[in-house]
Amino acid sequence: MIKVCLADNHPVTHFGVKSYFKDHDDISIVANVGNFSMVRDILQTKEIDILILDLELEGLSSIFEVKSILKNFPKTKIVIFSDLAEQMYAPNAIKAGVSGYVHKTEKLETLGISIIKVHEGKVIINETVRKNMALIAKQSKSERLYRKLSNREIEVLRYLSDGKKNNEISKILNLNEKTISTYKLRLLTKLNVTNLVDLVNKAKTLEII
């Protein structure tokens, strides 16, 4: 039996997932947590094969925290279950070491299949995303720019789009405010815009956020 922990902000998600897998032959939901601080506690006290993780989980501010979990608990694999833009976040999540990315618009049956395949050692990513990644090398430099955003740049862009100021973002990510300003400048350059409003609008148009 594959032992799974679901880490998600929303009670309705916990109820739906737990109900769906209640009588599953291969998958058992053995733990449910509602914030990131509880994830480490669960992994220290229970044997978890697969962690189902929402990137917008309360207390999770950076993909680097996910990498830390993978480093400290190497026997646990992570599947991202999120409604964030898949074509932007999935490649970076896979690069960080997670084993799968399932968008919340998918059926729970798809999540179940993904859990089993990840437990078997496979990496799960949407076929469209996979094809898009394969096509990146064939695109012009300008077309590739927004796909070359680093994990940090994506995180900063996400907080900027939420209306947060540089000093607020620096506290969330535990970085110097000048560093945040540098990331903001890089984002303006990479997305070829000159102000914050255009930056956020272009990011939305490209479905980065």
Distance of CA 57 to the CA centre of its chain: 10
Select the highest-mean-pLDDT range: 90-99, 107-116, 130-139: 107-116
pLDDT at 139: 52
Q: How do residues 47-60 score in pLDDT, each as one tens digit?
A: 999 999 999 898 88
Residue 72 has pLDDT above 70, yes or no: yes
**Portion of the chain with pLDDT greater than 90, in percent:** 58
Would the pTM count as exceeding 0.95?
no
Q: How do residues 109-131 score in pLDDT, each as one tens digit?
A: 999 999 999 999 999 887 766 76
Please measure the distance between the N-terminal and C-terminal CA atoms of the chain and give it in whole angstroms: 36
Q: What is the number of alpha carbons within 13 Å of residue 143 lying toward its C-beta?
A: 8
Q: How far is CA 61 from CA 1, 2, 40, 133, in A?
A: 31, 28, 15, 25
Select the highest-mean-pLDDT range: 66-70, 123-127, 131-135: 66-70
What confidence tier does 132 reach under pLDDT thresholds 50, 70, 90?
low
Domain 151-206 has CATH 3.30.70.260: no
What confidence tier does 135 reach under pLDDT thresholds 50, 70, 90?
low
Domain boundaries, the chain: 2-135, 151-206
Residue 136 has pLDDT above 70, yes or no: no
pLDDT at 142: 46
Sign of CA dihedral 124, 129, 135, 139: negative
pLDDT at 133: 59
Helix, strand and coil percent figures for the chain, each rounded to 5:
55, 15, 30
pLDDT at 94: 85
Please tell me the least confidently modeled range out of 102-106, 108-112, 133-137.
133-137
CATH number of 2-135: 3.40.50.2300
Contact 100, 69 (CB under 8 A): no
Instruction: Share the mean pLDDT of the chain.
Output: 87
What confidence tier does 148 reach under pLDDT thresholds 50, 70, 90?
low
pLDDT at 208: 67
Average pLDDT value for residue range 140-149: 55
